[in-house]
Amino acid sequence: MTAASIDCDKSAKEMELSATEKSKRLAQTGTCRIHSLCHLRPLIALLALSLSGCGDKPPQPAAAGPPPVTVVQPTKRTVTDWDEFTGRFEAVEEVQVRARVGGFVTSVEFRDGAFVNPGDLLYVIDARPFEAVAEQADGQLADARARAELARRELDRALTLNQTQAVSDSIVDQRRQTLQAAKAAQMQAEGLLKAAKLNIEFSHAVAPIGGRVSRRLVTVGNLVQGSDGGSTLLTSIVSLDPIYVYFDMDEATYVRNNRLYFEGKRPSSREHPNPVEITLVGETKPSHEGKMDFVDNRLDVSTGTLRGRAVIPNKDYSILPGQFGRVRLIGSSPYEALLIPDIAIATDQSRKIVFVVKDDDTVEAKPVVLGPLDEGLRVIREGLKPEDRVIVDGIQRARVGAKVAPHAPAAAPAAPAGGKT
């Protein structure tokens, strides 16, 4: 009994000890869990935020408005059409100075490329041979005059004697014939003397016209040939003021201008000095003005063009024969037209179009017929109305049928350089 009691006491103590140890272990385990949860608290909060964000939808972007475009209304003003051609300038007067008598050149009296006036001395050819011939011709003329005077006196005597029949009529006729022969010989001698004097004059080559002279082609000491043996070219002279410009007009332009003339819408260049404007090479706008003064009488069958000519004042001698230039000839009478900036014109295959904003701010494409440029703006012959609002900026954002936000330009568009075309 005693032993059994002791065993029971030991079992009870052991059970108490085991219960106490279990409580401590449970307490330690709880403390560790609490410490672990404290360390995981930030992660839990971040996970909660992430989960809450996954449940929300992304914000929708605000709806875009109509694209902005710049619009202008067509400009209405009086314009004149011009036809443009390529022309070449030529001198009104051009002379090749050639030797008219043969001989040795003794002097050159001009500076290469200088301006000369009519009558200025250019070349001097040795005139001594011609002076000798002139003296000989002068002697022959004196002899012929003496013979003529003797024949006249003998005829007068014969006429006086014939009144008393002292001299027959046949003698009178002979004396009259001798006088006529003497007069003919006198005229021949006078001609020889005049030719000799002309040769002396031709030994001094002078400028027949005023203008700019070329370089000397023959220098002092060279032998030149006269007109009898193929005259030698000495130099050349061209006039510069005024100057001609020649150009070729295509047949279609000629037919159109001719039709306008018969309709009374354009004066003919044959009857009226129509104005022309000249743009030289390297220029962007016309710098010279002139007038038409010639139209050929037929078209060139090889090119199908009609040759025309205008005369241009050249006071400053800035234009030289042989230069090229752009010739603008009036192509119509003044008329009212609508004009828009050239940047507003687009190409749709083979036609030209402009984009117009209608009253409801939608875009419409209108085909147009173009005219020439006038002071930087393009003439619109057909397709537009004065009240149309034409898109000039933002064409790439405009879509036919879509709405846009039109507004006027901040400043008037500057006209590009180049003037009328």
Q: What local confidence, expressed as pLDDT, does residue 4 receive?
A: 41
In this structure, the strands spanning 82-91 and 324-330 are: antiparallel
**In DSSP terms, which residues pair with 120 in a beta bridge?**
none
What contacts 24+ positions apart, CB below 8 Å, involve 347-351? none
> In 3-state terms, what secondary structure has residue 383?
coil
Percent of the chain at pLDDT > 90 equals 38
Cα separation, 283 vs 313, in Å, equals 18
Could you give phi then psi for residue 413, rounded to 5 degrees? -65, 130
* Confidence grade of residue 373 (pLDDT, cut at 50, 70, 90): confident
When the pLDDT of each residue in the chain is averaged and rounded to a whole number, the result is 82
* 85-125 pLDDT, tens digit each: 999 999 999 999 999 999 999 999 999 999 999 999 999 99
* Confidence grade of residue 54 (pLDDT, cut at 50, 70, 90): very low
Q: What is the largest CA-CA distance in the chain?
A: 236
Amino acid identity at 355: F
State the angle between helix axes of 169-202 and 128-163 in degrees (0 to 180), rounded to the nearest 10. 160
Contact 183, 191 (CB under 8 A): no
Cα separation, 377 vs 374, in Å, equals 5
Average of pLDDT values for 367-392? 88
Give the global pTM.
0.65
* 279-310 pLDDT, tens digit each: 999 888 888 999 999 999 999 999 999 999 99
Cα separation, 276 vs 331, in Å, equals 10
Residue 384: alpha-carbon gap to chain centroid? 30
* Confidence grade of residue 61 (pLDDT, cut at 50, 70, 90): low
Handedness of CA 170, 171, 172, 176 (dihedral sign): positive
